[in-house]
């Protein structure tokens, strides 16, 4: 019903997210030296990257990639904003918000690997492992989650909810019917 306040279930609180991000930052700081190149995939990874870099004890460089999907579920992806730096010979960590089927990540990893970095690893905040179609090695994982459509901390539905400071599980049928369905319940007061 229009105007009804719906509160989706919280999956990860702000405190849980921050402790997961701190753990990942410690793992990366132990595994790499200064000069590590973090490649974040726009736009969903931005809050994660912003928190992650502030907990690193090494000095990383950061760059961004943006991709666009031709059609959902096909795995066909193209780069619409490429990196500014040459990654040949560099240690690169790809920073992703969520890995679902693994198709997107497989494409990006393949693309970056062709550029001959010294090493290439993936750091993903959320891993929906049960949905995986292609095997996708994730060296640094924040949280494994079940097969749910999640929102918040960078993850959107129709560009909404990225600015939520926690992660909630949404109902895709609700959202398709009313993309703003959770706005009042999540942000008001």
Question: Does residue 8 interact with ligand 5GP by CB under 6 A?
Answer: no
The least distance separating ligand 5GP from the CB of residue 57, rounded to whole angstroms, comes to 28
The least distance separating ligand 5GP from the CB of residue 149, rounded to whole angstroms, comes to 4
Could you tell me which residues come within 8 angstroms of residue 18 by beta carbon, excluding any fewer than 6 positions away?
51
Decide: 105 and 132 in contact? Cβ < 8 Å.
no
Closer of 14 and 101 to ligand 5GP (Cβ): 101
Interface residues for ligand 5GP in 155-174 (CB under 6 A)? 155-157
Closer of 90 and 104 to ligand 5GP (Cβ): 104
Can you tell me which of 38, 48, 60, 97 binds ligand 5GP, judged by CB under 6 A? Answer: 97
What count of Cα atoms within 13 Å lies in the side-chain half-sphere of residue 146? 5
Could you tell me which residues come within 8 angstroms of residue 175 by beta carbon, excluding any fewer than 6 positions away?
149, 157, 158, 181, 182
Decide: 55 and 25 in contact? Cβ < 8 Å.
yes
Interface residues for ligand 5GP in 25-54 (CB under 6 A)? 44
Can you tell me which of 12, 25, 40, 99 binds ligand 5GP, judged by CB under 6 A? Answer: 99
Distance (Å, whole) CA 68 – CA 79: 6
Can you tell me which of 11, 47, 51, 104 binds ligand 5GP, judged by CB under 6 A? Answer: 104
Distance (Å, whole) CA 156 – CA 146: 18
What residues make contact with ligand 5GP under the rule CB under 6 A?
Answer: 44, 97-105, 149-151, 155-157
């Amino acid at each position: 019903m229009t105007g009804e306040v719906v509160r989706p279930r919280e999956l990860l609180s702000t405190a849980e997210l921050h402790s997961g991000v701190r753990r990942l930052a410690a793992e990366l700081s132990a595994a790499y030296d200064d000069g590590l190149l973090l490649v974040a995939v726009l736009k969903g990874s931005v809050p994660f990257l912003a928190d992650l870099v502030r907990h690193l004890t090494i000095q990383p460089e950061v760059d961004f990639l943006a991709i666009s999907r031709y059609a959902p579920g096909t795995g066909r992806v193209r780069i619409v904003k490429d990196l500014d730096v040459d990654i040949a010979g560099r240690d690169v960590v790809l920073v992703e918000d969520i890995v679902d089927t693994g198709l997107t990540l497989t494409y990006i990893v393949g693309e970056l690997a062709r550029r001959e970095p010294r090493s290439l690893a993936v750091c993903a905040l959320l891993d929906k492992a049960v949905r995986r179609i292609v095997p996708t090695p994730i060296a640094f994982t924040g949280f494994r989650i079940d097969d749910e459509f999640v929102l918040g901390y960078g993850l959107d539905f129709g560009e909404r909810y990225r600015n939520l400071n926690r992660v909630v599980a949404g109902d895709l049928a609700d959202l398709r019917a009313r993309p703003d369905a959770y706005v009042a319940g999540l942000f008001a007061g």
